[in-house]
Amino acid sequence: MTVCLIDTTPGKGKEIAIVPDAGALSHSDACRIAEVAARRTDAVTIVIDFDQIADATPSAFARLVLLRRALLRAGRDLRLVNLRDRAAHLFDIARLECVLPCG
């Protein structure tokens, strides 16, 4: 997993981009992402890049929903980008756009 700090619009805080390893995103991968997000309090927004992820488990998405809830309580947020293949299909079927912003 790759983690990059990105300066965003001045005055709006910083974003952390997390790029999971290629393949599938499992629940344990999502837990590792949550641990990184919790430690990196210098970032207002956590961006998870699914560019290399073709598949994701329902439990991985569930963990990301819980992560976003915790981040929102702390005045932070989570965003997913580059969803594709089966991961995007599962995201659509589960109607996760209501709880996990994508784009």
Per-residue pLDDT in tens (0 to 9) along the chain, 103 residues: 675 656 555 556 688 888 888 789 999 999 999 999 998 888 899 999 999 999 999 999 999 999 999 999 999 999 999 999 999 999 999 999 999 999 8
Q: Do residues 44 and 78 touch, judged by C-beta distance below 8 A?
A: no
Give one DSSP letter per residue of 27-40, joined into a string.
HHHHHHHHHHHHH-
Q: pLDDT at position 82, please? A: 94
3-class DSSP assignment, residue 18: strand
The end-to-end CA distance of the chain, in Å, is: 20
> Residue 65 gets which letter from DSSP?
H
Beta strands 77-81 and 53-56: pairing type? unpaired
- Say what the pTM is: 0.88
Q: At which residue do the structure tokens 């709006």 appear?
A: 12
**Which domains does the chain show, CATH number per domain?**
2-98 (3.30.750.24)
